[in-house]
């Protein structure tokens, strides 16, 4: 019997039946984690170890042992596990929450003059932008913002990236850019936006989003460094 199941409560044991997928992000359970034939168990958390030895993320390479670590919910795991033929137990970081991202300008001319690429970040309703760690914010997993400020009333974080640094990774055409970061409690967020990149020598001003003019410079300011 197959299917997809998610566990987040208290269980005496967790057993993935054949051709099923199980995800675990919290809760407590008894002694055993069992992945039957052609099934998989994905466990979200941090600081995993097997039989006392630290292990990284990915599929567990051994068929049995004692798995310990901290689940995404913050609860501890310390359980026997066993995988059967063509089955797997996969260790993974906590899934990132999806952030709404708006990158300005919408159309970027590589030949025009400008100093900044501005990114507006909105988190899901249950989260507060004031909890974002400014030092964790990255564009394309590598470029840090030169400045970071908050509009707590609008619940928008505004990051400014060096234009020259960003242009160094861009090609002409439709480009999807990813913004990642963490909250102070370690929760990861991620979001994307698509901009148009051109290379015309006119030096004319670029298209920006007029909606963003509502964000004023009286917001809390964080400078990198």
Same domain as 138, residue 57: no
Residue 155 DSSP SS3: coil
pLDDT bin (cut points 50, 70, 90) of residue 145 is: very high
Q: What is the arithmetic mean of pLDDT over 192-200?
A: 94
Per-residue pLDDT, 95: 80
Q: What angle do CA 50, 5, 24 make, to 5 degrees?
A: 30
List the CATH number of the domain containing 117.
2.60.40.10
Average pLDDT of the chain? 82
Same domain as 129, residue 51: no
Higher per-residue confidence, 204 vs 143: 143
Higher per-residue confidence, 143 vs 187: 143
Same domain as 110, residue 26: no
Range with top average pLDDT, 35-44, 48-57, 111-120 = 48-57
pLDDT bin (cut points 50, 70, 90) of residue 13 is: very low
Same domain as 193, residue 105: yes
Question: Can you give the residue range of the structural domain that contains 28?
Answer: 3-92
Same domain as 113, residue 161: yes
- Least confidently predicted of 57-71, 93-107, 109-123, 199-213: 199-213
Same domain as 102, residue 14: no
Is omega for the bond preceding 37 within 30 degrees of 0, making it cis? no
Q: Which residue, of 37, 58, 92, is where some domain finishes?
A: 92
Same domain as 188, residue 210: yes
Q: Are 168 and 183 in contact (CB under 8 A)?
A: no
pLDDT bin (cut points 50, 70, 90) of residue 38 is: confident
Which residues, at least 6 apart from 104, have a Cβ–Cβ distance to it below 8 Å?
117, 118, 119, 120, 208, 209, 212
Range with top average pLDDT, 13-22, 26-35, 87-96, 116-125 = 116-125
Same domain as 103, residue 59: no
Same domain as 179, residue 83: no
Same domain as 138, residue 77: no
Q: Which residue, of 30, 58, 92, is where some domain finishes?
A: 92
Q: What is the arithmetic mean of pLDDT over 37-63?
A: 91
Higher per-residue confidence, 202 vs 50: 50
Let me know if 205 is exposed, middle or buried by CB neighbors in 10 A (0-12, 13-18, 19+): exposed
CA 133 to each of CA 64, 104, 181: distance values in angstroms, whole numbers, following the listed order: 38, 22, 7
Per-residue pLDDT, 215: 41
Same domain as 187, residue 130: yes
Per-residue pLDDT, 214: 43
Per-residue pLDDT, 186: 77
Number of separate domains in the chain: 2
Per-residue pLDDT, 29: 67
Same domain as 39, residue 122: no
pLDDT bin (cut points 50, 70, 90) of residue 209 is: low
Among residues of the chain, what percentage have pLDDT more than 90?
Answer: 50
Q: Are 155 and 63 in contact (CB under 8 A)?
A: no
pLDDT at 219 over 50: no
Q: Which residue, of 92, 127, 155, is where some domain finishes?
A: 92
Backbone angles phi, psi at 126, to 5 degrees: -80, 5
């Amino acid at each position: 019997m197959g299917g997809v199941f998610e566990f987040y409560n208290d269980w005496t044991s967790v057993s993935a039946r054949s051709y099923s997928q199980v995800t675990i992000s919290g809760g407590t359970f008894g002694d055993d984690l069992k992945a039957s034939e052609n099934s998989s168990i994905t466990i979200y958390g941090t600081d995993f170890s097997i039989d006392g030895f630290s292990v990284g993320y990915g599929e567990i390479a051994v068929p049995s042992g004692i798995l310990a670590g901290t689940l995404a919910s913050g609860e501890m795991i310390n359980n026997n596990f066993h995988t059967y033929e063509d089955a797997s137990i996969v260790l993974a970081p906590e899934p990132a929450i999806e952030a709404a991202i708006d990158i300005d300008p919408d159309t970027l001319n590589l030949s025009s003059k400008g100093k900044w690429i501005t990114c507006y970040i909105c988190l899901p309703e249950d989260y507060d932008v004031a909890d974002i760690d400014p030092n964790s914010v990255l564009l394309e997993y590598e470029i840090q913002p030169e400045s970071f400020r908050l509009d707590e009333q609008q619940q928008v974080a505004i990051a400014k990236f060096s234009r020259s640094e960003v242009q160094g990774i861009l090609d002409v055409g439709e480009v999807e850019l990813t913004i990642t970061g963490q909250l102070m409690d370690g929760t990861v967020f991620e979001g994307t936006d698509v901009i148009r990149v051109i290379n015309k020598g006119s030096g004319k001003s670029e298209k920006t989003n007029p909606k963003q003019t509502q964000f004023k410079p009286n917001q809390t300011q964080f400078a990198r460094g």
